[in-house]
A = this chain, B = another copy of it.
Amino acid sequence: MLAEGEGMAGPSLCAANTAASPDLRKAPGFGENKATQCSFSIESILGLEQKKDGIPAGKPYRPWMDACSSLVLGDDSDPHQQIPVVCYENPLFHARSDPVQEEKVFKCEKYFSVAERLSFKRELSWYRGRRPRTAFTRNQIEVLENVFKMNSYPGIDIREELARKLELDEDRIQIWFQNRRAKLKRSHRESQFLMVKNTFTSSLLE
């Protein structure tokens, strides 16, 4: 039933990047003394001017949701339904501009059990439309690893070929290689760190 998409990879929208910034509110008064030379002032922008209706800017392409999305979204009369809706817009700035929503979400948090929250979270991610995690077979992994050993940057041609042979989307393969490279890098960083540390400590022992 779930029509698997053809060529496109549809990420984008809806950033979850917020956790990256440790210090919010760091920048102090932005709205002080500003002689602006432009047609608009940064203060006015910062002064929380009205939302410009916020074009949703387009939903991400989620072919794997095609069959169910409208069904699921309309189906649920649960009051929390609105949560995911909010999340279709960029939390980084739409969420803030609606204190009421924010408040509501916050209140919800303390009245629900961990399990319930977890379930919400899951639903949320469904609404948001994360691609179901692909489970590679052992064989697929093996082939990919072998190719990776020889070439960690396979071009589109190789990826297509792999896709055909392994019966996977080319997209999955691309992502796999991306993650694989990241993993390699991570492990090298770690061993390097260990080496340096060992050198350091042993030099201390002399």
Interface residues of A in 173-199 (CB under 8 A from B): 174-175, 183-194
**Contacting pair A151 B119 (CB below 8 A):** yes
A139 to B61, CA, bound (A): 28
Interface residues of A in 144-201 (CB under 8 A from B): 145-147, 149-158, 161-162, 165-167, 171, 174-175, 183-194
The number of times this chain is found in the oligomer is 2
Cβ of A205 < 8 Å from any Cβ of B?
Answer: no
A164 to B89, CA, bound (A): 29
Q: Which of B4, B24, B91 has a CB less than 8 Å from the CB of A188?
A: B91
Cβ of A13 < 8 Å from any Cβ of B?
Answer: yes
A44 to chain B minimum Cβ distance, whole angstroms, is 9
A136 to B188, CA, bound (A): 27
**Contacting pair B184 A57 (CB below 8 A):** yes
A87 to B155, CA, bound (A): 24
Q: Which of B158, B167, B190 has a CB less than 8 Å from the CB of A61?
A: B190
**Chain B residues whose C-beta falls within 8 Å of the C-beta of A3 in the assembled complex:** 8-12
A6 to B149, CA, bound (A): 31
Given contacts A5-B8, A13-B187, contact A38 B157 (CB under 8 A): yes
A59 to B190, CA, bound (A): 7
A196 to B158, CA, bound (A): 30
Given contacts A92-B142, A118-B153, A122-B153, contact A59 B27 (CB under 8 A): no
**Residues of A near any B CB (own CB < 8 A):** 1-14, 17-18, 20-21, 23-27, 30, 36-38, 40, 42, 45-46, 49, 52, 57-61, 87-93, 96, 115-116, 118-119, 122, 135-143, 145-147, 149-158, 161-162, 165-167, 171, 174-175, 183-194
